[in-house]
Chains A and B, each alone.
Chain A
Amino acid sequence: MATTFDADLAGLDALELFVEPGPSRAARIWSATWPKLGAIGLALFTWQCVVWSHWKPEFVLPGPAKVLPVLWNDAGTYLDATRVTLGRALAGFAIAVVIGTVLGAVIARSRILRSAVGAMVTSLMTMPSIAWFPAAIVLFGLTESSIRFVIVIGAAPSIANGFIAGVDNTPPVLMRAAHVLGARGWKAFRLVVLPAALPTYVAGLKQGWAFAWRSLLAGELLVQIAGLASLGRQLDVARQLPDYPALYATMIVILAIGLVADALFSGVERRIRRRYGLVDTATR
């Protein structure tokens, strides 16, 4: 009797867990890569078509064949500028993560604070970051601090909001389960609410990064610090010289950094969502 029962149960488990073998790893990488390569090719082709149309003189709008070699020839300059700009972005983002997370945690824990400050945090997000710069320059002068201030004030509200939304979306049944298991107060918050909030928090981080990156580039155009060749400054210098191939080359670098960062965040997000079972495997 007992053995039949065990076999029944094991058989049912095996039947229910059967999954069709998916495509091979190489096939998956290829199917994820070719649309991106195609998109890049299409973008370059469109650009070249605009140049061929003689909508603007080639001196003002050079084609990819003129611009792309600049990236290679002046690689050193672009690497230095990228180092400066990325350094600023990471430092500002790190501060924003700390402030946004602490702010989110405090607001999420207190009902009074939420009604008082929660709406204010959201309304901060509607403020275009560039509108903060005049005030930042008045407060901090043409310094790193004013750039950092605008990055933080642009990114922190998104991060705080992601955290709060994550806490709010903790499924009530998980809270009940935690309660029954004896998790109360801080323990319940640490062991259940925080992990439950993680996917939404990461989405908030991603959005926060996007805000930080935009704020930073706006800042580098407005606040130029002597002797530091940032990407924003290069844009401005290339326009004034004028060295238009360098202008477009710099834009490509900025775009590429944005795409890489987005891919990194999306990768982390996807991994977490898959881990949590939030991805429908049938439509993967």
Chain B
Amino acid sequence: MVNAITHLDDDRFPNVVDTAGEGDGSPAVSLAAVSKVFGSAASAIPALDHISLTVPRGEFLCILGASGCGKSTLLNLVAGLDRPTSGTLTVATERPALMFQEAALFPWLTVQGNVGLALKLAGVDQAARQVRVRELLQLVHLDEFADRRPHELSGGMRQRVALARALAQRSSLLLMDEPFGALDAMTRDLLHDELEALWSTTDLTVVFVTHNVREAVRLGDRVILLSSRPGRIAEEYPIDIPRPRRIDSPEVAALAAEITDRLRAQVRRHASPPPPAHRSHDGGQ
């Protein structure tokens, strides 16, 4: 079986802002028959099953699925935090930036310290760091809060700091793992606007994982629906609703309703009891 991960740049050149392959039309991410199995032999749990997917540069891709569809696993593979069991994964960027559902800010550092640490680790010298931190904080509208500590901020503000910190990596690929899942609806809507504005003014490629259908339709150029256990690509929806979009617009709502029906159908399949032949495999309960 094929088993290869290609990161075109590597960690030996942390200063290189990923220019590798830029403009030659190669995709930001491509997966060919990528599978991921957890555990081994008898107790193996297939998480992802032959996922083939290409993310062109500059695309905003949303990956949608219910619990257990392996969407976070998929993101971890692309982020290089885990390796596929089989298949080929090619990531054109040096080191993708990744945002989690929790902001995961370092509590002992101020807002600017958190963003600055990302720059420091990327090899940016101190003078340039200060200027860049300010720019990034202005970008997420938090420059007034540069000296606050994470615990002094609201959840939404913390996620904006996390976004600034992710952008500080200067990666051309931003991976987001349900980043707004824990926020209230109003804050989430505003952050959607902020993210969309930011993405549309840069050549950032975004892979955004969510279980919120409306959010996916609101943000994505394309929505990929994953089936659960194992995760397979069930459906693909190009979204051509003009931007800027609103989450409560009729177009978004209509398409979201359609996708929700498909998602529910996917989930329903798991409600039926497994056929008797399958039961003997479960370890004889």
- Are A and B physically bound partners? yes
Interface residues of A (CB under 8 A from B): 1-2, 5-6, 8-10, 12-13, 16-17, 173-174, 176-177, 179-184, 187, 191-192, 195-196, 198, 275-278
Please give me the residue from chain B that is nearest to A6 by CB atom.
B141
Instruction: Judge whether B149 and A182 touch: CB under 8 Å.
Output: no
Instruction: Judge whether A16 and B157 touch: CB under 8 Å.
Output: yes
- Interchain Cβ contacts within 8 Å, total number: 84
With contacts A180-B81, A191-B117, A277-B152 known, is A12 near B104, CB below 8 A?
Answer: no
Find B108's partner among A16, A183, A195 (CB 8 Å cutoff).
A195
Instruction: Judge whether B157 and A13 touch: CB under 8 Å.
Output: yes
Instruction: Judge whether B11 and A182 touch: CB under 8 Å.
Output: yes
Bound-complex Cα distance A97 to B149 (A): 29
Contacts of B141 in A (CB 8 A): 6, 9-10, 13
With contacts A9-B190, A12-B190, A277-B150 known, is A177 near B104, CB below 8 A?
Answer: yes
With contacts A187-B121, A195-B108 known, is A9 near B194, CB below 8 A?
Answer: yes
With contacts A10-B141, A16-B154, A191-B117 known, is A276 near B108, CB below 8 A?
Answer: yes
Contacts of A173 in B (CB 8 A): 100, 102, 104
Q: How many residues of B contact A (CB 8 A)?
A: 39
With contacts A181-B165, A276-B151 known, is A12 near B156, CB below 8 A?
Answer: yes
Instruction: Judge whether A180 and B154 touch: CB under 8 Å.
Output: no
| Per-position 1/0 for B190-212, Cβ under 8 A of A | 10011001000000000000000
Instruction: Judge whether B154 and A17 touch: CB under 8 Å.
Output: yes
CB distance from A189 to the nearest CB of B (A): 13
| Per-position 1/0 for B117-157, Cβ under 8 A of A | 11001100000000000000000010001000111111011
Instruction: Judge whether B150 and A179 touch: CB under 8 Å.
Output: no
Find A196's partner among B108, B187, B244 (CB 8 Å cutoff).
B108
Find A277's partner among B11, B107, B169, B186 (CB 8 Å cutoff).
B107
CB distance from B137 to the nearest CB of A (A): 13
List 12 additional contacts besides A5-B193, A9-B194, A182-B122; criterion CB under 8 Å: A5-B194, A6-B141, A13-B141, A17-B154, A174-B106, A177-B100, A177-B105, A181-B165, A181-B169, A182-B14, A184-B11, A192-B106
With contacts A17-B153, A277-B152 known, is A182 near B95, CB below 8 A?
Answer: yes
Instruction: Judge whether A277 and B165 touch: CB under 8 Å.
Output: no
Instruction: Judge whether A198 and B108 touch: CB under 8 Å.
Output: yes
Bound-complex Cα distance A195 to B113 (A): 13
For the complex of A and B, 9 pairs with smallest distance between CB atoms: A277-B151, A16-B154, A177-B104, A180-B98, A195-B108, A276-B107, A173-B104, A182-B121, A181-B121
Instruction: Judge whether B121 and A179 touch: CB under 8 Å.
Output: no
Please give me the residue from chain A that is nearest to B155 by CB atom.
A16
Residue of B121, B150, B154 most packed against chain A (CB within 10 A): B121
Residue of A9, A177, A182, A195 most packed against chain B (CB within 10 A): A177
Q: Does B79 contact A (CB under 8 A)?
A: yes
Q: Does B97 contact A (CB under 8 A)?
A: yes
